[in-house]
Chains A and B, each alone.
Chain A
Amino acid sequence: MNAKRYGMSIDIDRCNGCGACMVACAVENNIPPAHAGIDERKGLTWIRVYKVDNGEDYPGRRSAFVPMLCQHCGEHTPCAGVCPQQAVDIDPRTGIVGQMPERCLGCRYCMAACPYHARYFNWFDPAWPAGMEQTLNPDVAPRMRGVVEKCNFCHGRWHAAKERAAAAGTDEIRPGDYVPACVEACPTGALRFGDLNDPASDVSQDAKRPESFRLLEKIGTDPKIYYRSRKDWVHEIANAPRPGAARKEADHA
């Protein structure tokens, strides 16, 4: 079996900020409901939609939505190198950067290292109100208080797909068989998932488009999430050397 490099392509022009991906992710991965009094800086949002605008005033103002999730960095993975307990596990078969919450000490060094703010800490004890435990996904382990977690491209679904393939007698997962929850839920098809090593896949073709870009390329992390947009001002913001220049304020969904 060839090593795959699973990645995503995200069409910013298609994203309407509905947040279905965020909800699907939370449901799939057993994210506990937020505690009372929590603010958005302490929440668990493995995928998170940011709103950006071009800084103009009415009528020239334009907005766009940028879903942010773990970029599954391929080179100099910042979080993997710094974890003192080796709780970050990069799977060579898939390229997925996985997190082992059972190994995590909660030192949060990986969170300091990640420039994409893709890692989230369990500041609270997870608690589900009575009855809500029926919504839990039995295939995903909930995490405990005091550990870091992040998007793992719904790794459990990959395992399920592999089992189905094995049951069907093959080694290879069919491309459509393994799809993370956010991609599945996206109503506009802005999120696409696939194997970047496979030249025929949508994702690798999207990656080669001239309007595709990756975030913070110069840092050299080789992320596997390719964003694209036909709007110049989106490119401008994404490449802006000065993050969030005064006129262009960012908001979080």
Chain B
Amino acid sequence: MKRTLQISLAAALLAGVSLSAQLVVSELAYDAAIEPLKLPGSLNFGEVAGVATNSKGDVFVYTRTGHPTLSLGTARPFAHGGSRMFRFDKTGKYVGEIGQGVYAFLFAEKVKVDPQDNIWVVDQMSNTVMEFDPEGRLVMLLGRKAESENVPARGAAPPAAPAGGGAAGGGGAAAGARAGGAPPQGAAGGRGGGADAEAPAGGRGRGGPPGAGGQQDVFNRPTDVAWDAAGNIYVADGLGTNSRIAKFDKNGKFVRSWGQTGTALGQFRQPRAIAIDAQGLVYVADAGNRRIQVFDGDGNLKGRFLNVGTPRAICITSGPRQVMYVSNSNVPEDIDVEGEIYKVDLTGKILGKFGHAGRLAKEFNGVNQLECRTENELWAAEIGNWRVSKITLRGTGSTN
């Protein structure tokens, strides 16, 4: 017994787990509704990438649906459509659509609502962050959509779990190991595939360090947006070659960026989500490095959480006692590993966890965004199950 404990401790130290790591994580009791939102007629969600609520409880869903289309123009193919944003009231009744036919709804990534109830949309393929006011008018744009697409294009598919063998491990970390100039995976006609491929290091912008994307506001597969109390805007950028956090003032003027591709402190591999607490600390889900890094608003590293698997979605509650939820999301190509959601305090101490990967109610498949205005009511956007789950935690205590 004593020996086992020693080994566990040694392993924990080797793995770099912080002192607050717990060897046993309590399971939180929860329920989940898998059809909390009612779509009208023949409308269906596709891959649900983003979900957010506003101060009135309205729900916004940004989903990959319809037909992403390339049309042939003058020597170049042009990309159109492929994603839509729907709005529901707090009872789950469909209200309408925002941004029909907008220029840059190509490949949904996130939707967020700021304290003034503006709706922010992050599109991974058009490399844009769009701000809509509460009435649905576009009021600010960050980034620019590429004029045309490269076909055949870029990127490698992630490893999918082989059918003949055991479970695949690693998730995003494994995907990262295969990147770096490897030939594109997937046979003609489409085998597997996944949005988790990591681009090779090497800056897209000029003048910055490798992978840092330069000091400019051009994104490469951005993943998330958040704001501090002063209204400054922070963009996680992203799954492409930038691997940085870009900071803008409240008027959208580029201020600075920090980070570059890598595994060292302050570097990122696949920063997938970002959240900011009441003190203005910036939490970055550094998925490819299986950690959350914490910075002040100027990019100075303040801490890190190492015990939450591959964080692909995070959120922080509002109110005086803020907590964070972190999803160790499975890739949609494998439902036999991962998928649990952690509740942690803002020092990184794990308060509990719940759920696992799967297709049933109370299971999760590729959670890409978590919304948590309050501590016991969460929304999860599931890429793999093409749905939004509304999660209710039963109190703050644990069941064991």
Is this pair of chains taken from one and the same complex?
Answer: no
Q: Which residues of B contact A (CB under 8 A)?
A: none
